[in-house]
Structure 1
Amino acid sequence: MIVRIWHGRTQRERAYAYAAFLAERAIPDYRAVAGNLGVSVLRRDEGEISHFLMVTRWASEEAIRGFAGDDLLKAKYYPEDTDFLLEFEPQVQHYRVLGSDGDPPV
Structure 2
Amino acid sequence: MIARVWRGWAPKATADDYQRHYESEVAQHLQQVKGFCGARLLRRDDGREVMFTSITFFAGMEDVRAFAGDDPEQAVVEEAARRALSRWDERVTHHEVAVDLAG
How does the TM-score come out when normalised to structure 2?
A: 0.92
Instruction: Work out which of the two has the higher radius of gyration on C-alpha atoms and give 1 or 2.
Output: 1
3-state secondary structure, aligned to 2:86: coil
Q: Which residue pairs with 1:67 in the alignment?
A: 67
CA distance in structure 1 between the partners assigned to 2:24 and 2:34 by the alignment: 19
- Decide whether the 8 Å contact of 1:13 with 1:48 is kept in 2: no
Residue 64 of structure 1 and its aligned partner are, at CA, apart by 0.4
Q: Which residue pairs with 1:58 in the alignment?
A: 58
> Are 1:5 and 2:14 matched, yes or no?
no
Structure 1: gaps spanning 5 or more residues = none
> Are 1:21 and 2:21 matched, yes or no?
yes
Residue 71 of structure 1 and its aligned partner are, at CA, apart by 0.6
CA distance in structure 2 between the partners assigned to 1:78 and 1:6 by the alignment: 13
- Decide whether the 8 Å contact of 2:14 with 2:85 is kept in 1: no
Residue 55 of structure 1 and its aligned partner are, at CA, apart by 0.6
Identity of aligned residues (%): 29
Residue 82 of structure 1 and its aligned partner are, at CA, apart by 2.4
The number of aligned residues is 102
Q: Higher relative contact order by CA 8 Å / sep ≥ 6: 1 or 2?
A: 2
The ranges of structure 1 where at least 4 consecutive aligned residues each deviate by more than 3 angstroms after the TM superposition are: none
CA distance in structure 1 between the partners assigned to 2:86 and 2:6 by the alignment: 14
